[in-house]
Amino acid sequence: MLQDACQPTRRQCSNPAAVARALADYGDACRALGQHSKAAAALEEAQCLQIDNQLEGDRSEFALAHRAELETNPARALELLGETKAIQTRLCNVLGETRSTLLQARLLHNPSIRPKEWPTLQRRRQGAAARAFRARPWAITGLAGKTAACRRSHW
């Protein structure tokens, strides 16, 4: 299915962001199947599309992260993850930063590694959850219908 979505005839009338994501996913599938040259080509093409169309968030989430997984040189993989995390930090993508940190630990084959950013990510995640709860507590607690009904009865 991904291979079909990545065919040049289908790309001409498609959204560049969707094509780039499909190419990145196809590259990751090829990597998982051991087809490293196909994976590298698909990820390179995805990254070029994302750069050309200023899809920086997608580039960090898809092309760069998958290229880091494909990389056989740990130093280069960590460099790619560093670039990924820098983009995610700039875009305030805490979930993406967390995924990149976990990928970094997995790539290093050492689950006890906790980069220096780990406490910061935990504080951001907790802060984001607290802000979301203060803004809309009924949405998090599952009381959306009851809270709305209470507000209507008080007006």
Quickly list DSSP for the chain. Answer: -HHHHTSHHHHTTS-HHHHHHHHHHHHHHHHHTT-HHHHHHHHHHHHHHHHHTT-HHHIIIIIIHHHHHH-SSHHHHHHHHHHHHHHHHHTT-HHHHHHHHHHHHHHTT-TT---TTHHHHHHHHHHHHHHHHHH-HHHHHT-HHHHHHHHHHH-
- Give the pLDDT of residue 55: 93
What pTM, to 2 d.p., does this model score?
Answer: 0.63
Q: What is the pLDDT along the chain (155 residues), one digit of tens a residue?
A: 666 666 666 666 678 888 899 999 999 999 999 999 999 999 999 999 999 999 999 999 889 999 998 988 878 888 999 999 999 999 999 999 988 888 888 876 644 444 555 566 566 666 766 666 565 554 444 444 444 444 444 34
Q: What pLDDT is recorded for position 118?
A: 54
